[in-house]
Amino acid sequence: YRMRIAPAGEERDTFDGTLKQMSFATSQVRRPTMRSTGEVVFTALRTGWQDGRPLFNGTLFRTHVDGSNVHIHNGSRSAVPIFADDREMPDGLEIRIGQSADSWWGGILMLSDHQFGPSIEPDNPSDNLDHPYRSGRPDSSQHRFVPAWLSLNPDVTFRGVSPGGVYRDPYPMPDGSILVAYAKGPVDLANRNAAPNFDIIRLVPDPSFQSADGYRPGNFKQQLIAAGSQSELWPRPVVVRLKEPVKKQLKLQEDLFGSPTRIRGFSGYKSGTPAVLKVFDLPLLESFFEQIAPAGQHHLAVGTCPSCGDLTPQLDQVSAVRIIGASPQHEGDTGPPIRSIIAEVPLEKDGSFYVELPSKTSFDMQSLNAEGMALRFPHRWLYCHPGEKHTLSIPRTLFAQTCSGCHGGFTGSPSDTLRRPDVITSASRTLAQWDPEHQRQRLPANYSGGDGPQITTIDFDQNVRPILENKCVSCHSQEKRAADLDLSGEGAFESLRRFVEHRESLAIKSYLIEKLYGRELHAPQKLRGESPHPAETPLTKEELRTLIRWIDLGANRRGVTSP
């Protein structure tokens, strides 16, 4: 798309001079494909812990052709762990492979309907619904719900021993048929020595891949295209096709960064230029961090929830936000990526915030309570290009008219998807970016004059160990092991982590913070003994804040980037 025709002998230099890094994720990014809109779709790995459960999936993300405006496309919450090889069909449907991380060979062939908004599963196991199958399939909060996807061959599974065989490498044809590599079953997908023999087949709809009601696969014919004693893979038709447009480019914030220039064929800014993040309603956005399905009520962690009417305890109310940055892994690095604090800012009354970010850096958001403790860690790592304006969420007053058609009624009732449109709020600005008193634009809450935000790192040896030595080892040492706890020497790190919720990276669920605060938070074990913790010299607010931040950032040993 931006490759110049190279003179003879200068092909390598031309290639190197045209390369542009599109993604800046901390995890693996695989299998990019391009849609007819000019957008690029790829699979990115997401891992972590959420609500006491391990989180692992290969989610589809979508960007503009220049790599900007990265957003989740599909698969954020699915019973199928990995979505890969996503390709657009001529009719707008999508075909992809769904598989498990344990599969060496491929998985199911999925048909997804993404024409009417985000594909969402109403009963997937990752959502925070209590026993969703206890009374059968949960009711949808939409008027009519068509499943997010269906498997074209129900005999093929995405994990374990697949009796119907295995698919990989799908590619749509211009006539609506599908070329795909297929091996007959049974296939033990987790056996690296299974070595199934793949053939190239063509699936032809007869008349449609989808049943009339959308809930079952339709009828199709299967034609053998290429077969032999060795596996045939990666089918590609040789056809004339329309070149995808490249109109969707960088969203700009010219009042801060000025007018863009042309960089390798795209509008952009020089490397090192910061970016900005605008979130229009964090309480609304974070209500989807643990439950995105169109089923049940969605609770907003504000004083009185506008959807269910429940009062939210002060401890659990969203009052601020912490933006976390993650350093990419280098050869020789071990453990999770190093995390740092890009910004901590209070929310405006409407739940909005506006901050400056370093570009080309993975970031995530933690909603904070009034004590500065993270309430949730979504593990949805995004990034920005230099000078980019990245926006997320909408004002909650617009949810019914803008979002509920796909996400369902916020109260859990389908009738709440058809409320009166709020045209007044639609035309207004959030308090984070507009000063109504002086009638002018606000600057980002952490704006530094264009030099980029101040990054804060929390390192155990540099920041936490001095607190232990000054305030704790007088009672908790090898000589004096009060509560059988030694916080001196090299064993201090492991000793302290026993009282920390480091899997979810949440201080609010850590017994250590409960003990220091002297009250129940959300740690699984009950608070016991003297409360608050007796000490010759109590921790200062800043020292307690350092411990909270250290835990919320993962409670790791190292907190500075490896050389």
Q: Which residue has the tokens 């003990």?
A: 515
Q: Tell me, what's the pLDDT at 137?
A: 59
How far is the C-alpha of 510 from the C-alpha of 501, rounded, in Å? 5
Q: Tell me, what's the pLDDT at 372?
A: 97
Minimum mean pLDDT range among 28-42, 114-128, 133-147, 166-180 = 114-128
Q: Are 194 and 135 in contact (CB under 8 A)?
A: no
pLDDT > 60? residue 11? yes
pLDDT tens for 188-201 read 999 999 999 999 99
CA dihedral sign, ordered 503, 506, 507, 512: negative
Where are the domains positioned within the chain?
23-129+139-226, 254-441, 460-553
Q: Are 556 and 338 in contact (CB under 8 A)?
A: yes
Average of per-residue pLDDT across 548-555 = 95
Q: Tell me, what's the pLDDT at 169?
A: 98
Q: Tell me, what's the pLDDT at 401?
A: 78
Other C-beta atoms lying within 10 Å of the C-beta of residue 552? 27
Q: Tell me, what's the pLDDT at 165?
A: 98
Other C-beta atoms lying within 10 Å of the C-beta of residue 22? 18
Q: Tell me, what's the pLDDT at 108?
A: 98
Compute the mean pLDDT over every residue in the chain, rounded to the nearest whole number. 87
Name the pLDDT band for 560 (thresholds 50, 70, 90): very low
pTM for the complete prediction?
Answer: 0.90
Q: Which residue has the tokens 């990115």?
A: 44
How far is the C-alpha of 90 from the C-alpha of 223, rounded, in Å? 20
Say which residue, 427 or 480, is predicted with more confidence. Answer: 480
Q: Tell me, what's the pLDDT at 346?
A: 98
pLDDT > 80? residue 53? no
Average of per-residue pLDDT across 10-18 = 77
Average of per-residue pLDDT across 107-117 = 80
pLDDT tens for 328-339 read 777 777 777 889
Other C-beta atoms lying within 10 Å of the C-beta of residue 346? 11
DSSP for residue 467: H
Name the pLDDT band for 135 (thresholds 50, 70, 90): low
Q: Tell me, what's the pLDDT at 1?
A: 44
Tokens of 3: 């490759």
Using alpha carbons, list the distances in angstroms from residue 414 to 227, 294, 304, 316: 50, 9, 22, 28
Architecture of the domain delimited by 460-553: Orthogonal Bundle (1.10)
Name the pLDDT band for 159 (thresholds 50, 70, 90): very high
pLDDT tens for 373-405 read 999 888 888 999 999 999 999 888 888 877 887
pLDDT tens for 427-458 read 567 999 999 889 999 999 999 887 889 999 99
pLDDT tens for 71-105 read 988 887 788 999 999 999 998 899 999 999 999 99
Q: Tell me, what's the pLDDT at 338?
A: 86
Q: Are 199 and 183 in contact (CB under 8 A)?
A: yes
Name the pLDDT band for 116 (thresholds 50, 70, 90): low
pLDDT > 70? residue 22? yes
Q: Which residue has the tokens 């059968």?
A: 136
Q: Tell me, what's the pLDDT at 559?
A: 57
Average of per-residue pLDDT across 225-246 = 91
Name the pLDDT band for 561 (thresholds 50, 70, 90): very low
Say which residue, 480 or 141, is predicted with more confidence. Answer: 480
Using alpha carbons, list the distances in angstroms from residue 293 to 77, 121, 204, 410, 502: 8, 6, 32, 11, 27
Name the pLDDT band for 522 (thresholds 50, 70, 90): very high
pLDDT > 60? residue 562? no
pLDDT > 80? residue 2? no
Say which residue, 484 or 153, is predicted with more confidence. Answer: 153
Minimum mean pLDDT range among 130-144, 149-163, 342-356, 526-540 = 130-144
